Amino acid sequence: MILNPSTRTYVLTDGAPRRGNVGFGFDEATEDYKIVNVLDEHSSGNGNVVKKRITTVYNVRLRTAKIVDRILPDDSMDVRFGGVLIDNCLLHWMFWSPSKKKRRIGCFDIRVEKWVDDVMLPEYYYNSEHKKYLLDFGVLDGRLFSSFENRVSSCFDVWVMKVYGVPESWVKLFSVTISVDLIGGIVPVACRGVDSSEVLLRQRHTSKLFWYNKENGSISVAKVPGCLDHQPYVCKGSLVNLPGAKLFGDVYESQQQE
């Protein structure tokens, strides 16, 4: 099911793949939402194990799914990182290369329905002089971010890509000293406002929310009703109608009255 809280509508995705790592976006050319499913599938035969990476695109308007890519990959999908959306149409997944012992960000363009150029992580990640551990990557205020545990300075570093697709535009946004409240890592969720010094952080293991002040380094608990036991996400409001959508608010209210 896909929900649009802005228009209070929903649509059932009958026929969409149920396995794999999912991403979701909007194709302005066809005015259609698309669900992209990426699955690393293993099969065995004659004593050999064969891994295939299958990419499937589901069109919400047409209610149809088709395989657009099937390869024999030399890396593995990192199930923790997937479906990161930029500009409504560029989806990103993280992959792990055992031979290089490095991760890469693969980008899928839902407009042309194919994999395009990789997006480079900060040079900081590839520099062997720094002892760091990649914690997360996602979107912060419309820009890609990546967060690391700096094992030399005992802090978490958060980087943002100021210009999409330009590796040199990665800049370190802030560092947070590791504390008891933040053990296990942090994920930046949102900034309080334009040019604000305060960033909303989520503790990765507990999903607790904190406000972090970049200027003075202070941390305070963020009290957000309804987000105590769930991972919060910030969504961009959209008034684009879902194809064949139905109102879900009226159904909910009638059930409450009954």
DSSP 47-95: TEEEEEEEEEEEETTTTEEEEEEEE--SSEE-TTS--EEETTTEEEEEE
Q: What pLDDT shows up at residue 80?
A: 78
Three-class SS state of 175: strand
Q: What digits encode the pLDDT tens for the residues 207-243?
A: 788 889 988 888 888 876 665 556 666 777 777 777 7
d(CA 6, CA 13): 19
Average pLDDT value for the chain: 85
Q: Tell me how far CA of residue 29 lies from CA of 68, 110, 139, 188, 243, in angstroms.
A: 18, 10, 23, 32, 14
Three-class SS state of 254: helix
Three-class SS state of 255: helix
Q: Is the pLDDT of residue 164 over 90?
A: yes
Output the pTM of the full model.
0.86
d(CA 140, CA 142): 5
pLDDT band per the 50, 70, 90 thresholds, residue 22: very high
Q: What pLDDT shows up at residue 48?
A: 75
Q: Is the pLDDT of residue 252 over 60?
A: no
For strands 198-203 and 209-213, give the pairing: antiparallel
Q: Which amino acid is at 101?
A: K
Q: What pLDDT shows up at residue 251?
A: 52
Q: Give the residue among 27, 55, 30, 60 at the shortest CA–CA distance from 41.
A: 55
Structure tokens at 197: 């010094």
- CA 44 to the chain's CA centroid: 31
Ranges of each domain in the chain: 11-119, 122-227
Q: Is the pLDDT of residue 126 over 70?
A: yes
pLDDT band per the 50, 70, 90 thresholds, residue 250: low
Q: What digits encode the pLDDT tens for the residues 182-201?
A: 777 888 988 877 667 899 88
Q: What pLDDT shows up at residue 54?
A: 94
